[in-house]
Each structure stands twice: as structure tokens, then as C-alpha cells.
Structure 1
């Protein structure tokens, strides 16, 4: 089913999440602080990380950066509403998703299932590389370059850009994009697209305007600069 690492300093939350995951057949490892998290990540195979933001020792953002430098394993952030700035920092550090405390167990389990079964967008275009000015999308290597510089997109950011690239100059509906990138459970969760498209535009710099928001419909990746 999958090996899941829970990094959470609250024993009661850790136990509740562990019990529900084990009940559904997942293998679970637990860490109560950042040092345990790093040690376990290096010792056991991990398919997904559930990561609290406020931890003894290194912060959840630091742990997220450390993991992302070594692996593209999905990371779901567990955050309280008051930790909005930390949540944004974690997303910028490479986290794939977040749930806000207090969260329902079924909601968390649905997100775990979606990430463990989702297959990221595969290359469906005839060419393995899409070139728009200095912007290069390498569909085979799953990397994006601006000139010679790797933009270091997260898996989710790449999946969004690749899906839009496969439908170049056409509008991709909100729910279609959500389904292709996150899974059918995320239909209607348009705030995800708003968050990730904003971060993607920022990384694309002057080419960010290639990503057009079509109000009430979806998103369009243009094949040439429109500014």
C-alpha cells in the first residue's frame, strides 16, 4: 500500500494518524522531532511524508528542504491556520500539498491515496522538448529550463506546466487540470490552482505571462509571448 513517514511532535495526533493509516494497510514510521525524521528517512524506504511545521530542532520547512534536495517523494504538510507564512515557505521549499489542523481523517486519507496512486503527467506530445523563446520544457527528463538554467520546479509545478503544454494554446478546464495533476478527489478545489499557478508564474519570471487565467473556465499556456 505504501510506506508513510509521519513527522509530528504531538503524540496524540501522531497516534491518531498512525492508527487510521495502519488500519487501511499502510506501513508507518514515526518521528517526533527533526533529528528522528532525518534518521528515519535515511534508514527506511519512504513513499510519502506527512510533515508538521512546528518541530523541536529544525523546522518543518527545513526538513522539507532537506528531503527535497534528496528525493521527490510526496510531502503533505500538516499546518495550523496560524502558520500561514510557514505553510507558504514549505510549499516554496517543495511540499506538494497541505491540510489545515484540525483536519478530518477521511480528508487526510483521501489525499494520501491520491498522491500514492497518482502518476504524474507523461509525455504525450510528439516532441520530447517544447521550446518557447528561452523557456524549454523537457518532457523526457521532466525538467524545465530558462536558457541554460534549471528552474528546479517541484513535481506538482512541473505536472501543471506539462499538462498545459500538452494542450498548448487551448484552455484546460479547472477540474480537468485538478484531476490530471492531483486526482479526481480534488475536483472543485480551485484554490490549489490559484496557489500553484502563482508560484509557477513567479518561477517563470518574464515568461510567467504565458500562463493565462481564463475567468470561469481554466488556464491556457500560450506558445508565444503575449506581452
Structure 2
């Protein structure tokens, strides 16, 4: 199925450039020039990924991201003209999956889009013992990318799901922040350890009583310590 990308950008030139690159790769593109329009389009269409500018008229990108995350885990790439690390961390805290600072290279944006699309919507295999990760009441179902904790459904963003899956697939093994960055975002990612810390904090909050399964190893990284 052709994937739909929603570009939310009020600068016409930037929006058109991104649109052209995405169309050339075979994606269907929807466009919005402000936050209210973006939310209206999102409600009417099945959107597979959102490219979301922060500085928007009427309803800013932070507000759009916060509103969408109440009902959907669709991958979100946020765009900003500022190089403020606090902006980056706020975006991740609100549930963004990736973050690109303007001016950016369109091929880099396209690469980020393809990575998220392919990872999020790839068809998983159906070997029963490879479909599920179950440990200490935490149940990850890989084909549907869903999580339950003691039977309760928990909504994770794309990035939170990837981090939890990576840790659970390597129980008891220390995973460094660098390993997480390379695994989740790729070698070209320009973020730092604080980005990883922010996602881990969000993930622990969602795990509730099971948060202590993700252990911080000082000056080393993280590891998953559950029960067999």
C-alpha cells in the first residue's frame, strides 16, 4: 500500500521541495500550512508519517504533536529553525520520533522518512517464538508493534517501542547509549546522550511499576533486568 506522508510546513518553498523528493520516492503527500489544518487532515486520512514544523501559525507544532499523541503513535519528524537542545528534548518528551534542524538536506530528510516508514510498517515474520517478547508481565508483540503490561495496553511511540524491544532482546546485557543511537537513529544522528535519556524516562513512565526492569548502569548505559 502506498504510504501517505503529511507535511506540515508554512514555508511554501520548503514544503514543495520536500514534497517533490517524497513523490519521487513513490509516497503520497498531503500538505498543511498550519496546525489546525494539519489536525483536520489527520482526522480525515490514514497518515503513515508526519513531517511537522514547530513554528506554525494558529496552532504550533508542539500543540499538534501533543494532540496527535493522545490518539496515535504515527511516526513524527519535527522540523525547527532553532538549534536549541531544549527544543529537541521537548519534542522527544512530547513523543516525536526524530528531529531535524533547518536548513536541512532534503536527501537526509528523505533517508529519515524511509527509515521510519520501513521500520514501522515492515512486515514481520510469523514464527511464533519470534513474534513475542514476554518478561515479568511485559508483553511485546512484534508483528503488531503493541505492548501490554500485566494485560493493560500501553501506547508507545515508534522510538520508545524500538528501545524497549532492543533492550528486551538483550536481557542482562549492558547496551551503551552509543549503541542505542546507532541502532535507533543511525550513524548520521546529530543528537547526544540527553536524547536517549529523555526517551528512557518517557518509557519508564509508561511502564509504571515495571519501570525498574530498565536499569541504568552508571557511565555505561542501560540493561533490561526482568524475570524469566
TM-score (norm: length of structure 1): 0.76
Aligned to 1:6: 7
Whole-Å separation in 2 of the counterparts to 1:10 and 1:3: 20
Query: For residues 35 and 102 of structure 1, do their structure 2 counterparts lie closer, same or farther at Cα, with a shift above 3 Å needed?
Result: same
Once the 2 structures are TM-superposed, how far is the Cα of residue 55 of structure 1 from its aligned partner?
1.1
Aligned to 1:220: 223
Whether the 8 Å contact between 2:214 and 2:222 is mirrored in structure 1 is no
Whether the 8 Å contact between 1:33 and 1:55 is mirrored in structure 2 is yes
DSSP 3-state at the match of 2:175: strand
Whole-Å separation in 2 of the counterparts to 1:13 and 1:109: 13
Aligned to 2:158: 155
Gaps of 5+ in 1: none
Aligned to 1:110: 111
DSSP 3-state at the match of 1:129: strand
Whole-Å separation in 2 of the counterparts to 1:69 and 1:31: 20
Q: 1:57-206 maps to which residues of 2 (within 5 A)? A: 57-82=58-83, 84-119=85-120, 128-131=133-136, 136-140=137-141, 142-143=146-147, 145=149, 152-172=155-175, 177-178=180-181, 180-182=183-185, 191=193, 192-201=195-204
Query: For residues 179 and 29 of structure 1, do their structure 2 counterparts lie closer, same or farther at Cα, with a shift above 3 Å needed?
Result: same
TM-score (norm: length of structure 2): 0.76
Whether the 8 Å contact between 2:92 and 2:198 is mirrored in structure 1 is no
Residues 1:31 and 2:32 aligned together? yes
Residues 1:15 and 2:16 aligned together? yes
Cα RMSD over matched residues? Answer: 3.4
Whether the 8 Å contact between 2:73 and 2:156 is mirrored in structure 1 is no
Q: Determine which structure has greater relative contact order: mean sequence separation of CA pairs < 8 Å that are 6+ residues apart, divided by chain length.
A: 2
| Post-superposition CA distance 1:8-53 (Å, at most 9, x none) | 1111211121122222222111100012111211223211100011
Whether the 8 Å contact between 1:139 and 1:162 is mirrored in structure 2 is yes
Aligned residues: 217
DSSP 3-state at the match of 2:166: helix
| Post-superposition CA distance 1:67-95 (Å, at most 9, x none) | 22222211000012255444433322211
Query: For residues 125 and 27 of structure 1, do their structure 2 counterparts lie closer, same or farther at Cα, with a shift above 3 Å needed?
Result: closer
Whether the 8 Å contact between 2:120 and 2:158 is mirrored in structure 1 is no
Gaps of 5+ in 2: none
Once the 2 structures are TM-superposed, how far is the Cα of residue 128 of structure 1 from its aligned partner?
5.0
